[in-house]
Amino acid sequence: MSGLLAVLGEWVWNQTMGVWNTFTAMGGAPLLGLTALFGFAGRLMSRLACCGGRMLRVAALTAATFLWALGVVASLAWMWTMLLSRIPWLLPLVGSLGSL
């Protein structure tokens, strides 16, 4: 059982890193749009789960969880992209704060 969990964990990690690499290759504006889109779609799926039967509820909540996870990865990639583009002017500012 632990071998199966190790393989599953490695597969999930590789998929997450693939999505991360795709998202960090994008610019800031598309990433912000994707974050909003994933959040909205996750919210829509969770609302859909409230009005259906058991099978629809399970499928919609699974899809909502997946979309929210993608939204989290996209928002983290957006923050990473924005921070890296701001580092050249942040470093002197942080250095000057240390001398206060």
Do 33 and 71 contact (CB within 8 A), yes or no?
no
How far is CA 49 from each of CA 5, 37, 46, rounded to the nearest angstrom? 29, 18, 5
**What pTM does this model have?**
0.69
Residues 19-77: pLDDT tens digits? 888 888 888 888 888 889 999 999 999 888 888 788 889 999 999 999 999 999 989 88
- pLDDT confidence of residue 83: 77
Q: Which helix (H) or strand (E) holds 100?
A: none
- Please state whether 63 falls in left (phi above 0), alpha (psi between -120 and 50) or beta: alpha
